[in-house]
Chains A and B, each alone.
Chain A
Amino acid sequence: MNLDAVRHDFPLFQETYNGSPIIYLDSACQSLRPQSVIDAMNDYYVHFPACSGRSYHKLAAQVTQKCDDARSQMARFLGASKKEEIIFTRNTTEGINLVANSLDLKSGDAVLIGGKEHNSNLIPWQMLVKRKGIQLKILPTKEDGEFDLEGFEKMLSNPVKLVSLGYSSNLDGVTIPAEQVIRLAHKHGALVLLDAAQTAPHRKINVRALDVDFLALSGHKMLGPSGTGVLYGKAKLLDQLTPFLVGGDTVANSTYDSCEFLPVPERFEAGLQDYAGIIGLGEAARYLQNVGFDFIQKQELLLNQAVNDGIKEIDGLQLIGPADPARRGGITTFYIEGIDSHRVAIMLDQMANVCVRSGQHCVHSWFNSRHIKGSVRSSVYFYNTLTEVEIFVENLKKIRKVL
């Protein structure tokens, strides 16, 4: 795979701000989109801007076909056994909320989550604690950010109905040993939901091999349009869920006092869908598969190693997560004692158009428990270059000298 050719696919790299190109190191927040994804979405708006499924004219037939193709594409992307196991959502948050609100959780049922979960995988369960009286168990993270498998097994000794974990952390990039986690959880009779928002863009996922029960991801982190996502669920489990968002397009028929739900997945896709987004997401999955996860992981490791080597000598810099960059995917999160993380991020932007994320990255709970105000996160992706990483490091060093 040729990096120059890959970069040519992303329109942002052709642009300059104040005479310099953008150095985008915030892909963990949202990735860039290749032209083919943009074109796929535009095609919908230009050539067949109609409803899927509901109408019988030729435009509707095209949309229906394209959305169906996208669903099949996503099923292949995740290794699902059938496309009906793919539910289109707006994002990972919606996918997790769908499970949280549709699964038959009762008072006293335990849900186990990790110690550095994104708010998307914390707040929905907190709400259920208040509303239904479920128990929320939190597995502390090891000091170096790695998953505590032993601690996890111990916590499973008491009945747990659902284990809901971030597959890869958006805080430090650490990926949990999902196969072992799922095996252990199943052994103890627990279902497993994985938040794969930070995994799907970076490594091959095979839901059948993993034997995961539910898996949620976002389109906007994997080259797809914002406002798109997928919830994968095993067909037999999805059949047992009661839709929590209902209305148009979820029912086959209704009377004044009852309704007949459509089969899965339609029953979970209420209201008119973001057809352009769905088509774009399908194209994003196709593009990623063409690039190949081998190339993606190799490039990320190369870049993250360079970040790691560059910043390790910066005075007062504290890395969050494991020291080995190979354990952190494309993410490097750090803070510098006494320096506001937003200030660093803004200065990087002002100095060299370097875009990084600052703050608590929607993992407030982890930061608050450690009394850390915030951090800077660089997240490289396969389309970044070593030169970009060098500029980032060089400017970070300058900032450290000044602040």
Chain B
Amino acid sequence: MFCIVAAIVLSILGIFSASNRQLAKEALDCVFHRITFRPCTTGFDEKMKAKILGKVITRSEKSARFLNKNFELLAWIFFVIFLAASVMFVRGFVLFYTTGSCNGANSTGFCVFDPTGENTKTSTVTGGACPVPTNPSGSSLTLQNVDLNLWPVMNKGSKDQIVFVGCYACEYTREAYPKIRALVEKYGPELYFGEYPTKLKTDTLSRVGYCVYQQDPAKYWQMNDALFSEDVALLEDENATRAILSGLNLDMSSLDACMADPATEASVQQLFTEIRKTNFYGTPTLFINGEPLVGPKPYRVYAIALEGFFYWLK
């Protein structure tokens, strides 16, 4: 058993040091002998045991005696721990690769591959037009009972679906948005976008968005692209917004009329209500084919959620 543990550990260490490489070779030879039901002829296990005992005995004879007596048992325990740790490591890596976090989608626990938690950060700062619902975990994120008919949509009718809750002024939404746009560009899923202003008082933009979408859905997405590329500080500046809208060749008078219409505000508020039904607790929150993803994930995570592990082959 000791040989197996040593072979694995030393093989890894052997990548970095030549002396460990030689030991790894001996350990592998020993493992090979053992699995073919022959005694280990290199003396590797004896050698390593003696080296360990020699170090321990200088500190505590009692510990050395215990170690000597229970060496095989301890080797088994270490092997099981090593195996478990290896499984956890592989699981963590796979989860990180597929969800952006070692602990599974939307978990904010420590992840060695993302120590600062960049992939799970969300904008929860209040002070925007709408309060962020409090929800301690991602377990209750849902699209059930959410009426998507009120949400601006692109590629309606496609088999895959992305539902995106974000806000124009939120830095993590701004980080995720271009990736989602690229994904939509490449794979063409339905894209629902629910703008929920959490950071700045950009609720005017929500009405603007509603009215633009009513006038020309295609220009709504162009407006979104422009707003997400705009300097955040200018998002509260009405003139800057109007300049963007003018650039899209929209009918401004009809747009102004729409924005002044009380029915618009009612529709926007209804959209906010529907967004809140998702139980989201920060932006960006995405549902890709129903699977919730909170925080700005790497592109591959969105692509895997949408197209599967081998998205890059498609």
A, B assembled together: yes
Cα-based distance from A349 to B58 in the complex (angstroms): 12
Q: How far is the CB of B139 from chain A (nearest CB, A)?
A: 53
Contacts of A348 in B (CB 8 A): 54
**Cα distance A279–B17 when bound, in Å?**
38
Contact among A349, A350, A398 for B61, CB-based, below 8 A: A398
Per-residue interface assignment for chain B, residues 51 to 65, with 1 indicating a CB less than 8 Å from any chain A CB and 0 otherwise: 101110110010011
Does A399 reach chain B (CB closer than 8 Å)? yes
B54 touches A342 (CB 8 A): no
A340 and B46 form a contact (CB under 8 A):
yes
Q: Nearest residue in B to A347 (C-beta to C-beta)?
A: B54
Q: Is B47 an interface residue (CB 8 A)?
A: yes
A403 within 8 Å of B by Cβ? Answer: yes
Contacting residues, chain A, for B68 (C-beta < 8 A): 402-403
Minimal beta-carbon separation of B118 from chain A (angstroms): 44
In the complex, per-residue mask of A362-403: 1 if CB is within 8 Å of any chain B CB, else 0:
000000000000000000000000000000000000110111
Please give, as numbers and ranges, the residues of chain B lying within 8 Å of A343 by CB-CB distance.
Answer: 46-47, 49-50, 53
Which residues of B lie under 8 Å from residue A349 when comparing CB positions? 54
Tell whether B133 is near chain A: CB-to-CB under 8 Å: no
Known A-B contacts A350-B55, A351-B57, A351-B58; A342 and B50 likewise in contact (beta carbons under 8 Å)? yes
Contact of A347 with B53 in the complex, beta carbons under 8 Å: yes
Q: Is the interface of A mostly helix, strand, loop or mixed?
A: helix
A399 and B46 contacting across the interface, CB-CB below 8 Å: no
Given the complex, which residues of A lie within 8 Å of B55, measured CB to CB? 350
Q: How far is the CA of A347 from the CA of B57 in the complex (A)?
A: 9
Interface residues of A in 329-352 (CB under 8 A from B): 340, 342-351
- Give min CB distance, B59 to chain A, whole Å: 10
Query: In the complex, how many residues of chain B place their beta carbon closer than 8 angstroms to a beta carbon of chain A?
Result: 15
Given A346-B51, A350-B51, A350-B54 in contact, is the A402-B46 Cβ separation under 8 Å? no
Q: Check if B43 is an interface residue, CB within 8 A of chain A.
A: yes
CB distance from B37 to the nearest CB of A (A): 21
Could you mark each residue 23-50 of chain B with 1 if its beta carbon is under 8 Å from any beta carbon of chain A, else 0?
A: 0000000000000000000010011011
Chain A 248-284 near chain B by CB (<8 Å), digits 1 or 0: 0000000000000000000000000000000000000
What's the nearest-Cβ distance from chain A to residue B171, in Å? 54
With a cutoff of 8 Å between Cβ atoms, the chain A residues found around residue B57 in the complex are 347, 351, 398-399, 402
A345 to B61, CA, bound (A): 17
Among residues of A, the one whose C-beta sits closest to the C-beta of B53 is A347
CB–CB B50/A402 < 8 A: no
Query: Complex Cα distance A60/B96, Å?
Result: 72
Q: A342-B46, A343-B46, A346-B47 are in contact. Are A401 and B54 (CB under 8 A)?
A: no
Provide the residues of chain A in CB contact with B46, threshold 8 Å. Answer: 340, 342-343, 346
**Shortest CB distance A51–B (Å):** 37
Q: C-beta contact mask, B78-111 vs A, less than 8 Å → 1, else 0?
A: 0000000000000000000000000000000000
Q: A347 and B50: CB pair below 8 A?
A: yes
CB distance from B202 to the nearest CB of A (A): 67
Evaluate contact between B65 and A350: CB separation under 8 angstroms. Answer: no
B51 touches A402 (CB 8 A): no
Q: How far is the CA of A346 from the CA of B58 in the complex (A)?
A: 13
Return A307 CB to nearest CB of chain B, in Å.
20
Closest beta carbon of chain B to A374's beta carbon, Å: 10
B171-200, CB under 8 A of A: which get 1 and which 0? 000000000000000000000000000000
Distance A348 CA – B58 CA, assembled complex (angstroms): 10
B71 to chain A, nearest CB (A): 11
Give complex CA distance A350, B59 in Å.
12
* B65 contact set on A, CB distance < 8 A: 401-402
Q: Which residue of A lies closest to B64 (CB)?
A: A402
A291 to chain B, nearest CB (A): 34
Give the residue among A346, A349, A403 with the most B Cβ atoms within 10 A.
A346
Instruction: Chain A residues near B50: list those with CB within 8 A.
Output: 340, 342-347, 350
C-alpha spacing A399/B57, complex, angstroms: 8
C-alpha gap A6/B64 in the complex (Å) = 38
- Residues of chain B with a CB closer than 8 A to A399's CB: 57
B43 near A342: Cβ-Cβ < 8 Å: yes
Residues in A whose Cβ lies below 8 Å from that of B51: 346, 350
Provide the bound-state CA to CA distance between A342 and B64, in Å.
Answer: 17
Distance of B292 from chain A, by nearest CB (Å) = 56
Q: How far is the CA of A347 from the CA of B46 in the complex (A)?
A: 11
Of chain A, the residue at the smallest CB distance from B60 is A402
Interchain residue pairs A-B with the least CB separation, the first 9: A350-B54, A346-B50, A347-B54, A343-B50, A402-B64, A402-B65, A347-B50, A340-B46, A351-B54
**Chain A contact residues, CB within 8 Å of chain B:** 340, 342-351, 398-399, 401-403
Residue ranges of B at the interface with A (Cβ–Cβ < 8 Å): 43, 46-47, 49-51, 53-55, 57-58, 61, 64-65, 68
Jot down 7 A-B pairs with beta carbons below 8 A, ordered by A.
Answer: A342-B47, A345-B50, A346-B54, A350-B54, A398-B61, A402-B57, A403-B53
Known contacts A342-B47, A342-B50, A347-B53; 10 additional CB pairs below 8 A are: A342-B43, A343-B46, A343-B53, A346-B46, A346-B47, A346-B54, A347-B57, A350-B51, A401-B61, A401-B65
